[in-house]
């Protein structure tokens, strides 16, 4: 059997957040076709335990854990000339493991998950191997967007990172054999802002329809009408979106429905999120949970109030797969084939966003119908088996 290396900027397990979920399903597909070795970083000490739970038939797993402080120091060292993103996720000792195995295993394919993973290939070329990279979305444009929303000096720093990362993305597009994006919109953006060539393919996200099932039952008690947001709460767009909703929409919803609860579900919330329950009645901040389905199963309405978003939002796919009606901003709904008004509600003005949530909480029959149609859309178009057919075509050529 041919061999493959999969290099990820973080452990793709458990598949409980956007990039990890996508990487997990791609890695699973590779492990069905190749003897596959995984190289990855661990985000935090909790991942040391998760490595032993990884449930894929891999030939080998190589990982490194570095503290956030260590990574920030690496960024400081890279500041004079390098990409901070690449420096944050690169580890020399993992490079040595990669270089050693490269000589022993002679892989036919090296698949990198996210741009910073390419650094291992650039530092350890693999003649004869096909090089694939999954950008997911255009990270350099994300940094450019951040630079427009933050004060000095972060504005300058983020703008600098956008330029450096764009140059790095351009190098990847030239040297790798195939690059993937999560949506046609992201692929078009890359062609416009970075580099246009024939190597670009769209590999859309799917959703595990058996895992995220409408029949799932939560062990948590139901305490009134429930609005749920799921997502990693150490991620700036999620933080911004939750604060926008809590400050501009939730007071209006709470006045209309005093018994309503708003659950913010996701790991490592910063202090401004943790303090929300003291400032606004009815808000519950959970922190890390092992299974977000327990809260999605409680949800009468799921929300995706993101003001900055790239690619396809897994939080929307997962809620839709569980037949929960979703209210989203246009940014969070971008790239999805869910029909506005029938399978998802889309609004960007805060008072109207709040009114849509209130309407669904007051009209459970309509909410169930929207959720049911959203689930049907997931079944029709969004299984991982269907989405990964794009990747299968290129793997068959190796």
Q: Answer yes or no: is pLDDT of 66 > 90.
A: no
Q: What percent of the chain has pLDDT over 70?
A: 100
- What are the sequence ranges of the domains in the chain? 3-206+384-395, 226-381
Instruction: Write down the pLDDT at residue 152.
Output: 86
Q: Answer yes or no: is pLDDT of 209 > 90.
A: yes
CA distance 265 to 289: 7
Instruction: Write down the pLDDT at residue 143.
Output: 92
Would 3-206+384-395 and 226-381 be classified into the same CATH topology?
yes
Q: Answer yes or no: is pLDDT of 311 > 80.
A: no
Plot region of 299 (φ>0 → left; ψ -120 to 50 → alpha; else → beta): beta
> What is the rounded average pLDDT of the residues 114-129?
96
* Residue in 39, 141, 131 with CA at minimum distance from that of residue 85: 141
Give the pLDDT band (50/70/90) at residue 40: very high
Q: Answer yes or no: is pLDDT of 82 > 90.
A: yes
Q: Which residue has the tokens 């420096």?
A: 87
Q: Answer yes or no: is pLDDT of 202 > 80.
A: yes
Instruction: Write down the pLDDT at residue 46.
Output: 81
Helices (H), the chain: 18-33, 46-51, 68-78, 84-89, 92-105, 118-123, 139-147, 154-175, 184-193, 236-248, 250-256, 271-274, 276-279, 293-296, 314-321, 330-333, 350-362, 364-381, 384-387, 389-395
Instruction: Write down the pLDDT at residue 38.
Output: 98
> What is the rounded average pLDDT of the residues 80-105?
95
Instruction: Write down the pLDDT at residue 107.
Output: 97
Instruction: Write down the pLDDT at residue 48.
Output: 86
Q: What's the CATH class of domain 3-206+384-395? A: alpha beta
CATH T-level assignment (fold) for domain 226-381 = Rossmann fold (3.40.50)
The 8-class DSSP code of residue 307 comes to: S
Dig out the tokens for 256 from the structure. 């209309």
> What is the rounded average pLDDT of the residues 187-195?
96
Mean pLDDT of the chain: 95
Q: How far apart are the first and last CA of the chain?
A: 12
Instruction: Write down the pLDDT at residue 4.
Output: 98
> What is the rounded average pLDDT of the residues 246-258?
97
pLDDT tens for each residue of 316-375 = 999 999 999 999 999 999 889 999 999 999 999 999 999 999 999 999 999 999 999 999
Instruction: Write down the pLDDT at residue 295.
Output: 98
Instruction: Write down the pLDDT at residue 69.
Output: 87
pLDDT tens for each residue of 140-185 = 998 998 888 888 888 999 999 999 999 999 999 999 999 999 999 9
Q: Answer yes or no: is pLDDT of 17 > 80.
A: no
Q: List 38's β-bridge partners, or say none.
A: 6, 61
Q: What percent of the chain has pLDDT over 90?
A: 86
> What is the rounded average pLDDT of the residues 58-66?
94
pLDDT tens for each residue of 67-78 = 888 888 999 898
């Amino acid at each position: 059997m041919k061999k493959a290396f999969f290099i990820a900027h973080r452990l793709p397990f458990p598949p409980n957040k956007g990039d990890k979920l996508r990487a997990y399903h791609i890695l699973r597909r590779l492990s069905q076709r190749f003897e596959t070795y995984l190289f990855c970083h661990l985000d935090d000490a909790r991942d040391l335990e998760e490595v032993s739970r990884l449930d894929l038939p891999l030939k080998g797993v190589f990982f490194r854990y570095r503290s956030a402080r260590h990574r920030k120091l690496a960024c400081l060292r890279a500041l004079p000339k390098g990409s901070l993103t690449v420096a944050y996720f690169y580890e020399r000792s993992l490079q040595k493991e990669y270089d050693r195995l490269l000589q022993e295993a002679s892989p036919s394919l090296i698949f990198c998950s996210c741009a910073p993973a390419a650094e291992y290939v650039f530092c350890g070329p693999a003649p004869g191997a096909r090089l694939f990279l999954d950008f997911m979305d255009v990270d350099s444009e994300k940094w450019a967007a951040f630079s427009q929303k933050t004060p000095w000096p972060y504005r300058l720093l983020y703008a600098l990172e956008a330029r450096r990362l764009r140059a790095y993305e351009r190098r990847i597009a030239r040297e790798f054999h195939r690059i993937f994006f999560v949506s046609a919109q992201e692929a078009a953006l890359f062609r416009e802002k970075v580099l246009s060539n024939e190597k670009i393919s769209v590999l859309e996200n799917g959703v595990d329809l058996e895992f995220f099932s409408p029949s799932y039952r939560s062990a948590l008690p139901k305490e009134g009408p429930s609005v749920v947001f799921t997502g990693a709460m150490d991620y700036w767009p999620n933080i911004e979106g939750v604060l926008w909703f809590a400050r501009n929409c939730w007071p209006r919803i709470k006045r209309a429905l005093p018994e309503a609860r708003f659950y913010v579900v996701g790991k490592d919330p910063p202090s401004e999120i943790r303090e929300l329950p003291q400032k606004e009645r009815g808000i519950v901040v959970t922190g890390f949970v092992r299974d977000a389905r327990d809260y999605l199963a409680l949800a009468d309405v799921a929300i995706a109030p993101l003001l900055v978003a790239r690619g396809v939002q897994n939080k929307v796919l997962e809620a839709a797969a569980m037949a929960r009606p979703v209210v989203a901003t246009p940014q969070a709904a971008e790239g999805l084939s869910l029909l506005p008004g029938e399978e998802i509600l889309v609004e960007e003005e805060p008072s109207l966003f709040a009114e849509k949530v209130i309407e669904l909480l007051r009209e459970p029959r309509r909410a169930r119908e929207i959720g049911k149609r959203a689930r049907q859309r997931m079944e029709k178009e969004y299984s991982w088996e269907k989405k990964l057919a794009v990747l299968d075509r290129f793997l068959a050529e190796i």
